[in-house]
């Protein structure tokens, strides 16, 4: 502003119109400048698209191209380039840098957001205050964000449609990572074998798994409907199960070489029937090669690793959400989530193996490293979609969550292999309660999602949400 009102800037103001055209081009080229500063001895690629220019402006543009190139030659940032221009009294460089910074929409940013959903944007099914305006603001400013949630049970596209309606904002399915989204990585290994998928309402999780590419997905309902004696306590749920069960692809008959056999068990969402589902998981973990109805002779044999338990080709066990509790519309205290059933299964396994064997399984979902890694890969792809390949390298990611144990711990412990820095922002609208001391310390604690985003925008030197 000082420069614009100074006598030196009068000349600049007179030719503001032509300058604005060249500045626009310069601004579009800014990310390329940032990413090619080391190569500043030659003009950055894509810096000038001469075909789009009015010939009348070309002379000014060429001059400003050299000014910008000069300004960035020894500068590591926009701010440093500007200071360099001031110290060297290079008016052309000062003018064009100032104009690019203050008069035009901001270019691709080198920071991004990762949002937990439950307890941050809504307490299911009720949206939280400020959630809609915050997402709209980020969309309007073209600031990239993803959703990294431990929830699941529906396809990513279904979930995105629900969020779009809830928050009145256009979203992209590629922004969305649920607890079971990383299960996509398991498709090549298991796509042609039978997999047991547990959790969710009806057979919604079966449909999710089939959408991922698993070709033979079986649910607890299929088994209990085909073999009612499998589980003696079915009086409450019998009708429910039969409403969506499908015929089994093979009988449960260990004497038959084609007997029903599983290669993996995925717990995609919270089980609605812990007793039945824990029974099924235990049966498969003690089986021979995943054949339901068998028991491995290796079980309890100390000559094998883990005292022989889970050493005989049993199916892989993959849980997708370690959270024991989650924030719901029940305002008095959080409710059980998938992690509570995992804890119960640990207890059952301990009794079954007489404390002689660890329960071997893979855990997906926050705070696990794999989920944040998957999230960052998704974020990088989404940034490329928004900004193209010339975008500045991702520097800071602000993960906003309500759970100290999954969100804050996960973001704090995550070491990005891509060189970005993850910061953790804890909000007080979900599991964490105001005035209590969180088990894992966040970068900052904020009242709600809008405050958290404004905290990050301040840190980045960007204008805050009004």
Let me know: does 115 contact 429? Beta carbons within 8 Å. no
Of the listed pieces 110-118, 247-255, 271-279, 306-314, which binds Mg ion according to CB under 5 A? 110-118
* Dist CA 263 CA 241 (whole Å): 23
Whether 184 and 177 have beta carbons less than 8 Å apart is answered as: no
Could you give the 3-state DSSP secondary structure of residue 145?
strand
Q: Which is nearer to Mg ion, 273 or 323 (CB)?
A: 323
Comparing CA positions, the residue from 336, 342, 335 lying closest to residue 318 is: 342
Q: Does 428 contact Mg ion by CB under 5 A?
A: no
In whole angstroms, what is the distance from residue 307 CA to residue 80 CA?
63
C-beta of residue 242 within 8 angstroms of C-beta of residue 309: no
Region of 114 (left: φ > 0; alpha: ψ -120 to 50; beta: rest) is beta
For Mg ion, the closer CB: 116 or 376: 116
User: Is the preceding peptide bond at 364 cis, omega within 30 degrees of 0?
Assistant: no
- CB of residue 402 vs Mg ion: minimum separation in angstroms? 4
CB of 431 to Mg ion, least distance (A): 6
Q: 334 or 392: whose CB is closer to Mg ion?
A: 334
Helix (H, G, I), strand (E, B) or coil at 331: coil
Nearer to Mg ion among residue 367 and residue 390 (C-beta): 367
* Interface of this chain with Mg ion, residues 370 to 409, rule: CB under 5 A: 402-403
Q: Work out which of 108, 119, 322, 339 binds Mg ion, going by CB under 5 A.
A: 119
Q: Alpha helices of 319-391 — where are they, by DSSP H?
A: 338-352, 369-387
Q: How far is the CB of 430 from Mg ion (least distance, A)?
A: 5
Smallest distance, Å, CB 335 to Mg ion? Answer: 12
User: Which is nearer to Mg ion, 69 or 122 (by Cβ)?
Assistant: 122
* Minimum CB distance to Mg ion, residue 120 (Å): 6
Nearer Cβ to Mg ion (206/399): 399
- Binding part of the chain for Mg ion, among 117-125, 214-222, 307-315, 379-387 by CB under 5 A, reads 117-125
Q: Which is nearer to Mg ion, 376 or 402 (CB)?
A: 402
Q: Of the candidates 92, 118, 156, 312, which one interacts with Mg ion according to CB under 5 A? A: 118
Alpha carbons 203 and 245: distance in angstroms, whole number: 8
One of 24, 100, 113, 116 touching Mg ion (CB under 5 A): 116
Residues in contact with Mg ion, total (CB under 5 A)?
Answer: 5
| Nearest residue to Mg ion, scored by beta-carbon proximity | 119
Distance CA 223, CA 217 (A): 12
Q: What CA–CA distance (Å, rounded) separates 123 from 330?
A: 9
CA distance linking residue 312 with residue 301, whole number of Å: 11
Residues that bind Mg ion (CB under 5 A): 116, 118-119, 402-403
């Amino acid at each position: 502003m000082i420069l614009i009102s100074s006598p030196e800037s009068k000349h600049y103001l007179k030719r503001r119109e032509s300058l604005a055209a060249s500045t626009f081009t310069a601004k579009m080229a800014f990310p390329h400048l940032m990413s090619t500063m080391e190569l500043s001895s030659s003009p950055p690629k894509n810096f000038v698209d001469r075909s789009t220019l009015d010939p009348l402006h070309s002379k000014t543009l060429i001059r400003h191209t050299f000014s910008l190139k000069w300004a960035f030659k020894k500068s590591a940032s926009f701010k440093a380039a500007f200071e360099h221009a001031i110290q060297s009294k290079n008016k052309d460089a000062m003018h064009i840098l100032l104009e690019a910074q203050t008069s035009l929409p901001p270019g691709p940013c080198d920071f991004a957001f990762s949002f937990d959903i439950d307890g941050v944007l809504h307490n299911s099914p009720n949206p939280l205050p400020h959630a809609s305006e915050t997402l709209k603001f980020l969309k309007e400013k073209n600031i990239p964000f993803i959703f990294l949630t431990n929830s699941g049970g529906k396809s990513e596209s279904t979930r995105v449609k629900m969020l779009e309606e809830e928050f009145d904002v256009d979203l992209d399915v590629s922004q969305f990572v649920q607890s079971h989204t990383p299960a996509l990585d398991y498709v090549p290994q298991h796509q042609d074998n039978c997999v047991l998928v547990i959790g969710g309402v009806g057979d919604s999780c079966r449909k999710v798994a089939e959408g991922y590419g698993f070709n033979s997905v079986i649910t607890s309902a299929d088994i209990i409907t085909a073999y009612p004696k499998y589980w003696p306590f079915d009086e409450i749920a019998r009708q429910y199960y039969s409403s969506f069960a499908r015929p089994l692809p093979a009988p449960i008959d260990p004497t038959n070489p084609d007997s029903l056999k599983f290669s993996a068990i995925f717990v995609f969402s919270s089980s609605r029937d812990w007793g039945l589902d824990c029974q099924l998981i235990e049966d498969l973990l003690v089986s021979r090669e995943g054949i339901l109805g068998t028991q491995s002779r290796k079980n309890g044999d100390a000559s094998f690793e883990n005292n022989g338990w889970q050493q005989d080709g049993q199916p892989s066990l993959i849980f997708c959400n370690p959270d024991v509790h989650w924030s719901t519309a029940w305002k008095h205290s959080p409710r059980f989530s998938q992690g509570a059933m995992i804890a119960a299964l640990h207890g059952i396994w301990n009794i079954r193996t007489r404390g002689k064997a660890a329960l071997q399984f893979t855990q997906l979902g926050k705070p696990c490293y794999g989920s944040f890694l998957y999230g960052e890969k998704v974020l990088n792809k989404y940034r490329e979609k928004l900004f193209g390949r010339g975008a500045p390298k991702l520097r800071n990611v602000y993960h906003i969550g309500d759970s100290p144990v999954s969100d804050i711990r996960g973001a704090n412990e995550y070491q990005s292999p891509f060189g970005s820095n993850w910061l953790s922002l804890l909000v007080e609208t979900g599991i964490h309660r105001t005035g209590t001391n969180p088990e894992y310390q966040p970068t900052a604690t904020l009242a709600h999602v809008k405050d958290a985003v404004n905290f990050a925008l301040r840190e980045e030197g960007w204008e805050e949400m009004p």
